[in-house]
Amino acid sequence: MENVIELRELTKTYGSRRGLTGLSLDVVQGEVFGFLGPNGAGKSTTIRLLLDLIRPTGGSASVLGLDPRSDGVELRRRVGYLAGDFVCDGRQNVRSYLRFLAQLRGGVPEARIDDLADRLGLDQSAKIKKLSKGNRQKVGLVQAFMHTPQLLVLDEPSSGLDPLVQQTFLDMLGEAAAGGQTVFMSSHIMSEVEAVADRVGIIRDGHLVALDAVANLRTGVVCDIQVTFGASVPPNAFDGLPGGERLRLDESGTKVTGQVSGSPDALVKALARYTVTSLRASEPALDELFHSYYEGAEATAPRTGSAPIA
């Protein structure tokens, strides 16, 4: 697949302050890429470098095969961008403002604007200065999506949206990717990234500490297990089980609880020898994985994988 974004040792410093350190990353066409990290980790800095809103201290960036610095005008024609601090002129109503932006882009069918606004529940007759934060965010989403760009660059896009509108937004992302558009989305809301992203990058203190498909990031993590049997099983039924060192059988021999790390294959095969009446296994949410990378010692190098992109 063609690379839409190519970053090589991209670095940004602000005097003595670190913004981004040696970021290397490829994002391919049609991919939804989730860029995770807390405030100050370097997410917005990366996005601003992609769009030449700020200039790098070192390294290089290529977006849609273009140099953000020398080809900035052409690049921005082909990109839909929603800033994390989206601001719009409050003197106009929503309809006038969106059509003004459409004209700046060379024209967008009014039906396209109306359809996006209706899906998001955005009242186009309202004055922008009277909109709530969530409704201003809807304006930002419409202007980013309306010209069907090759690349969507979204910085904390669901900020202020209610849960129903968040789901509509996720549906829009899925449709964009299905149509061949590429999405680069920064967020600290792990559930929304997990729902739509093909791959996830986790950034910590300006360094990329993990890069993989969500499923692969889970490899090796611990799952909580609780199994109930129809009759007692032998006390040593699960001794030596790979990854099951923390499993414990109760005194009745009818319930096993604890944790399994890595693949559950060995556990499933061991359970198949007995009558199981209930089984509960809970994986850690993506936010737990994120915190393990952010707080742990993994920051020395990114964890990567070669799993195919969904």
Query: What's the rounded Cα separation, in Å, for the pair 37 and 20?
Result: 12
Helix (H) or strand (E) holding 184: strand 182-187
Euclidean distance between CA atoms 260 and 124, whole angstroms: 52
Question: Each residue of 27-41: pLDDT tens digit?
Answer: 999 999 999 887 788
Mean pLDDT across the stretch 102-106? 91
Q: Which domain holds residue 234?
A: 222-282
82 shares a domain with 116? yes
User: What pLDDT is attached to residue 220?
Assistant: 56
Residue ending a domain, choose from 192, 213, 234 = 213
Residues 23 and 137 in one domain: yes
Q: If you compute the radius of gyration of the chain from its CA atoms, what whole number of angstroms results?
A: 24
Domain match, 249 and 198 both: no
Our count of domains for the chain comes to 2
Residue 23 domain flag: yes
pLDDT at 38: 77
Q: Quick one: 174 and 67 in the same domain?
A: yes
Q: Are residue 63 and residue 190 in the same domain, yes or no?
A: yes
Taking the model in full, what pTM does it have? 0.76
Compute the distance between CA of residue 261 and CA of residue 297 in angstroms, rounded to an integer. Answer: 19
